[in-house]
A and B are shown apart, each in its own frame.
Chain A
Amino acid sequence: MKEEVNPKMLIAGTISLLCAIIFFGGFAKDWWGGIFDFGKLTGQFPEWLKTAGGSSAKGGFLFAVTLIPSVMLALGFVAIFEHYGALAAASKWLSPILKPLMGIPGVCSISLIASTQSTDAGSSTTKFLYNERKITHKELLIFSAFQFSAGALLTNFLSSFAPLLQVSDQSGAVAPVSIAMCLGIIFIFKIFGANLMRLYVKKFVKDDEETV
């Protein structure tokens, strides 16, 4: 990811980010027949395809296969939003508030956004920041708590959990939450967890721990 974001890219990226929130948030369900809504675009299997009710390996296989279209659709759209700079814009907006929000410096924002897509990208870029002395040992500990809880949030949620929001229970009801709402709540608790770590670091970690 590039460090610099010019104003034009920032505007495009911010619009793209807002589109992503609307798309995954279910806000546009009732506009234009839902063509801007993830749930609606996922569509339906034909009536004759019975996917529920199997058991053990065969039941699991059949069910897993029915999840594939929504995973492909979700990651296809994420690629588009990312291409137009949604994540770069998110990182730009986050950068000035990271210090008050979690006690880690603004340079972490790119790593932070990367970590929502891939734990490996997140941890390797963070290690780089640490090796370059851009973050301290204590900041590293706080940041690790953020990355550790709900790691690779975006990719994991969209590929494993998002399809579950369309699974109906025995009474035919589906979960009363949207993808964006779940992601938002999880993200808030990731920040909350980082702050718990901030308290822990303040109380229990000595200033010279890394050299011992």
Chain B
Amino acid sequence: MSGNETKLVTDIFVEGARKGWNIAIHSTVPNVLMAFVIIYILNTSGLLKFIGEYIGFIMAPLGLPGESIAVFLAAFLSWGGAAGVLVALVQEGTLNAQHIAILLPGMALVGSTVQYMGRVLGVLGIPGKHYPALFGICLINAYLAMLLMRFIV
């Protein structure tokens, strides 16, 4: 941000767009591809329906179908993967536009926490005994945010 006042605004845009390209190619594409394959397997094997029926009740107070729990679980692993699972379910007609709006903040608030255990908590040197509390807070955040969204949209 400093010492580059001579840069053209177009150059700055292109630099940012290039960063976007790199993220998209290295993260979005492989993650979404993986998510689509997983959903295909879960769906074809009938496992998704099973998960939706047995633990999906957690999502009911949020006005979401049981299958949406797959999106939420994927979010713990990665943002991109969760996005892929969400879209796969939207294309199948399991989720609608309203569900997308409710789910997004919740997915974000637990987003990639499995990775961030190392990259945030590990780097900061947080003692392991506090990890359950930190994960719990993410869960509470996510659930309340989705509940709020349910009443907004």
Contacts and interface: CB of A to CB of B under 8 A. Distances in A.
B126 interface: yes
A67 interface: yes
Interface string B98-122: 1011001101111111001001110
Chain B CB count within 10 A is highest, among A67, A120, A175, for A175
B126 A182 contact: no
Nearest to A124: B123
Interface residues of B, number: 78
Interface stretch (A23-31, A95-103, A163-171): A163-171
A149 B137 contact: yes
Contacts of B144: 189, 192
B23 A75 contact: yes
Contacts of B97: 168-169, 171, 173-176
Interface string B139-153: 011101100110011
A61 interface: yes
Interface in A74-132: 74-80, 82-83, 85, 88, 119-120, 122-124, 126-127, 130
Nearest to B81: A160
Given A156-B112, A160-B28, A189-B145, A148 B121 contact: yes
A171 B2 contact: no
A122 B119 CA distance: 10
Contacts of A148: 113, 116, 120-121, 134, 137-138
Contacts of A155: 23
A144 B134 contact: yes
Interface string A178-192: 000010011001101
Interface of B: 1-2, 4, 7, 9, 12-21, 23-25, 27-29, 31-37, 40, 79-80, 82-84, 86-88, 90-91, 93, 95-98, 100-101, 104-105, 107-113, 116, 119-121, 123-127, 130, 133-134, 137-138, 140-142, 144-145, 148-149, 152-153
Given A159-B80, A185-B149, 12 more contacts: A71-B28, A76-B16, A79-B12, A79-B19, A123-B124, A130-B125, A161-B79, A168-B97, A169-B100, A177-B152, A186-B108, A189-B142
